Amino acid sequence: MYKIAVLPGDGIGKEVMDATLDVLDSLSIELEYEFGEAGDECKEKNGKALPQKTIDIVKKTDACLFGAAGETAADVIVRLRREMDLFANLRPIKSYPGTNALFDNLDFIIVRENTEGMYVGNEDWVKDEEGDIIGANAEQIMTKAASERICSYAFEYAKKNARKKVTGVHKANVLKKTDGLFKESFYNIAENYKNEIEAEDYYVDATAMYLLTRPETFDVIVTTNLFGDILSDEGAGLVGGLGLIPSANIGEERALFEPVHGSAPDITGKRLANPTAMILSAIMMLEYLNENKAAEILNKAILKVLSEGKIVTEDLGGNSTTSEMTIAIKNEIDAQQK
């Protein structure tokens, strides 16, 4: 029996979470859910986007599933990452059959440092003598410890998953000290794997171009917080959109799993939400819990529904509702478990 913290959040986060729990309940695995509030609606109701009660729920469970938050997303997910020291953000970029993928042979992963960089949130206004705002400053923080920790995670991930290459991404030619430290840390760690895994590095602007011109050459990308955020959305565009991109936030003791997409208020309540990214995030959770058989069954069920393309949501070229696609996935699970 695993205890899972469930934070549906706002908008379609609730819809795709309902779909995912419905699918998980079809598997032969015992999960106990503990629900917590977070997001815009929570802030309106409780005065806080992420109450301490919710944080406590996440801390005492085996893993957390998070749906989506609206305007308060940074207050929720960034704080959760810091509170739990979820230092590694994994974002798989994979081509699935029956989708609008620009390339049909992609299977790489972006490993994003999750705790520092530009996202530490240290910003200040610059004011003139009269107190009028004339500019703003933002601080980027890079430490050797965090840089080496995320690079070690990336190389270990590559080793455990039979990946052959790790690409470090930075902007050390301009940000000589902060990104320079990241690049140095990358090669310090790479030295420990030189007989097993190829190491290379690119500037982030070159990487953005290569993702469009030769994305199939990537295997594992490890990068800083801001760059990982941007590049993973570019990767989503390569394989059919944010509705197909899951993610995992991994720490030494805890983990949180979420789709990359937001709360999508424009389609909330219209039964149009694609549950795939949330369900794929749940598969990553099952793998984290070492429930690999259940993860494989669920993955095969999604692949079958996507490849047939008959019962899929509008963004995937179909006209089915969220619940209809969910039922189709559940039927495939049942067929495998008979």
Which positions are annotated as active-site residues?
Answer: 119, 171, 205, 229, 233
Check: CB of residue 246 under 8 Å from CB of residue 277.
Answer: yes
Question: Got the DSSP string for 252-291?
Answer: SS-EEEEESS---TTTTTTT----HHHHHHHHHHHHHTT-
Instruction: Return left, alpha or beta for 47; rule: phi > 0 is left, psi -120 to 50 is alpha, else beta.
Output: left
Q: How far apart are CA 1 and CA 239, in angstroms?
A: 35
The one-letter code for the residue type at 72 is: T
Reference 40, options 6, 79, 68, 78; nearest CA is: 68
Question: DSSP strand E in the chain: where?
Answer: 2-9, 31-35, 63-68, 88-94, 107-113, 123-127, 133-138, 165-170, 198-203, 220-223, 246-250, 255-259
Sort 208 into a burial class: Cβ within 10 Å, 0-12 / 13-18 / 19+.
Answer: middle
The one-letter code for the residue type at 180 is: G
Sheet with 31-35: strands ordered across? 31-35, 2-9, 63-68, 255-259, 246-250, 88-94, 107-113, 220-223, 165-170, 198-203
